Amino acid sequence: MILVRKKDIGMASLALAMLFSAPAFAQSVDTNVVADLVSQVQELQDEVRVLRGQVEDQANQLETLRQRQRDQFLDLDQRISGQKPTTGSAAPGAEGDTPVLAADDAADDDELPGVSPASAEDGPEVRPPMDTPSDTVALDTPGAESQLMPSNPADEKAAYDQAFQSLKDLRYADAAEGFQTFLARYPESEYADNAQYWLGESYYVTRNYDVSLEAFDDLLEKYPDSSKKPDALLKIGYAHYELKQWDQARAALEQVKEQYPDTTLARLADNRLRSMRMEGHY
């Protein structure tokens, strides 16, 4: 489009040059024609400036979307790569899943024990964004009650570890299926709240925001005392934001700030709220 307009400007400019380079012809030409040509050149130049501005604006929006996608992958990568070694019956992603923090974040976690900070929202890229739509879909759980297994700590840990390993390997569909199966078989497990949280994460990172919302909401309802509750609440705000549900996003993020002040989670919530204000969403 810009190239076409540049061609039009060039032709109009050439016409003007020809008019004024031929004195005899310039004397006989209607001055209204000259004025009209000058006006057309100015209009074309204005259009080019507007088009350039639109191209720059679209480029900025595209970069913002890319950065948001990188943030999502950084979020999950930091949570998984920061797992502490476990011993005994402790499962990865359970009580020892606090990522390695910067020095200025350490104090926040001391004030809120057991809370894993969420994504370093403005951090560097860790993994490239997805180029293809996610194939992770919500799973049905027919006959969940009939699938309940006798309580066996070793079996529970093995099932949880297998699902969590899929998540670490970035096999999100397998991870979602694994956590869903685990929750159906071991709803009373000591790892159930963590499985519910990572189920939501496996959907969130693959942009299945509606399904991730259901998973995080289930965590708040079924496991109100879980150490994952603050992170789930933050991700509820993030998911609503991605779905352009501005009022719900703001409510969840404000709740994070109110209930967990002076923490990394509160700072992340405040950052997203600031972005919403700058984007004119409230």
Q: pLDDT digits over 195-223, tens only? A: 999 999 999 999 999 999 999 999 999 99
Within-domain flag for 10: yes
Q: Is the dihedral of CA 145, 213, 177, 199 positive or negative?
A: negative
Nearest-angstrom CA–CA distance, 272 and 282: 12
The pLDDT of residue 134 is 46
Within-domain flag for 184: no
Average pLDDT, stretch 80-103?
42
Within-domain flag for 51: yes
Within-domain flag for 49: yes
Confidence category of residue 48, pLDDT binned at 50, 70, 90: confident
Q: What is the DSSP letter of 138?
A: -
Within-domain flag for 36: yes
pTM: 0.56
How many Cα atoms sit within 13 Å of 172 on the Cβ side? Answer: 20
The pLDDT of residue 36 is 73
Closest of 185, 176, 165, 160 to residue 91, by C-alpha = 160
The pLDDT of residue 124 is 30
Within-domain flag for 74: no
Instruction: Check residues 61 and 23 and name the one with the higher pLDDT.
Output: 61
Within-domain flag for 59: yes
pLDDT in tens, 176-194: 999 999 999 999 999 999 9
**Mean pLDDT over each residue of the chain, to the nearest integer:** 73
Nearest-angstrom CA–CA distance, 207 and 173: 12
Range of the domain at 41: 2-64
Structural domains counted in the chain: 1
- 3-class secondary structure, 98: coil
Confidence category of residue 29, pLDDT binned at 50, 70, 90: low
Within-domain flag for 45: yes
